[in-house]
């Protein structure tokens, strides 16, 4: 089975721009979660989607949004980029959300905001 | 609210020696606990999880973890460390109660360095 894939792997943007990141979960997995990883803040939960519905949301401003499609693929969007948005954005999938199901992570998208 | 603490930013151990990476947690209900490892420029890889039952959980690459409910801890262990074990390790918890159902909370991570 193919793992979680994320595109693009690297991205450079300037302040004020917007960006869309894509995640394809493992085949059969219906839950997708997004995390932001930075050296200072560690791994922070952004949001979780299941059956095209957002089930959980972390403490991020409204500039961060996401969606899930009927094939379980997910996208996240960051509008009006700030320097502090520079981070590794990780996507993780699981069969269903919650419970004892472990999440499987993609390689991440490295976003640099100049 | 659920939380995880990894009290050591860094752990250094000699190859062949046993290693321990510490993790404590706080939840309102019962916990599901997980350990992940991250190598440079890679995503996180799942190592093992505790759901219920036996307090000693065995996982990938010879790692194991011991669940201690009274101390709210879930320390990661390996009897004999390898240089290739050097990486960033994350402990995570999911609460079965409260309002954060489904959400996985990670600790800050511990850098493990195994010296030859």
pLDDT, tens digit (0-9, with 9 covering 90-100), for B62-103: 999 999 999 999 999 999 999 999 999 999 998 776 555 567
The minimum CA-CA distance between A79 and chain B, rounded to whole Å, is: 24
> In the prediction, which pLDDT does B102 show?
66
Query: Which residue of chain A is at minimal alpha-carbon distance from B47?
Result: A102
* pLDDT at residue A80 tops 70: yes
* pLDDT at residue A6 tops 60: yes
> In the prediction, which pLDDT does A50 show?
92
| Cβ–Cβ contact B5 with A under 8 A | no
pLDDT, tens digit (0-9, with 9 covering 90-100), for B22-67: 999 998 888 899 999 999 878 899 999 999 888 999 999 999 999 9
- Over residues A65-81, the mean pLDDT reads 97
E strand map for chain B: 3-5, 10-14, 19-21, 24-26, 31-38, 44-50, 56-58, 64-68, 73-78, 87-95, 105-106, 110-115
**Neighboring chain B residues of A107 at a CB cutoff of 8 Å:** 41-43
Q: How far is CA A107 from the centre of its chain?
A: 11
> In the prediction, which pLDDT does A38 show?
94
What sign does the dihedral A90-A91-A97-A99 (CA atoms) show? negative
pLDDT, tens digit (0-9, with 9 covering 90-100), for A9-68: 999 999 999 999 999 999 999 999 999 999 888 899 999 999 999 988 899 999 999 999
**Neighboring chain B residues of A90 at a CB cutoff of 8 Å:** 43-44
DSSP B26: E
Closest listed residue to residue A32, CA positions, set A112, A85, A113, A106: A106
């Amino acid at each position: 089975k193919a793992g979680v894939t994320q595109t693009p792997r690297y991205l450079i943007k300037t302040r004020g721009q917007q960006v869309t990141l894509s995640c394809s979960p493992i085949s059969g997995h219906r839950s997708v979660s997004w995390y932001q990883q930075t050296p200072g803040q560690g791994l922070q939960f952004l949001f979780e989607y299941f059956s095209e519905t957002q089930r959980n949301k972390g403490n991020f401003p409204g500039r961060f949004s996401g969606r899930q499609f009927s094939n379980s693929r997910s996208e996240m969007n960051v509008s009006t980029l700030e320097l502090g948005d520079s981070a590794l954005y990780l996507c993780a999938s699981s069969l269903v959300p919650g419970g004892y199901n472990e999440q499987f992570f993609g390689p991440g998208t490295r976003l640099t905001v100049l | 609210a659920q939380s995880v603490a990894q009290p050591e930013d860094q752990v250094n151990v000699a190859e062949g020696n046993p290693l321990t990476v510490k993790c404590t947690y706080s939840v309102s209900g019962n916990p599901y606990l997980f350990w992940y490892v991250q190598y440079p420029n890679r995503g996180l890889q799942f190592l093992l999880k505790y759901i219920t039952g036996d307090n000693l959980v065995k996982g990938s690459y010879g790692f194991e973890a011991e669940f201690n409910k009274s101390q709210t801890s879930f320390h990661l262990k390996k009897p004999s460390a390898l240089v290739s074990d050097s990486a960033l390790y994350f402990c995570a918890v999911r609460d079965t109660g409260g309002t954060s159902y489904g959400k996985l909370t990670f600790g800050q991570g511990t850098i493990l360095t195994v010296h030859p």
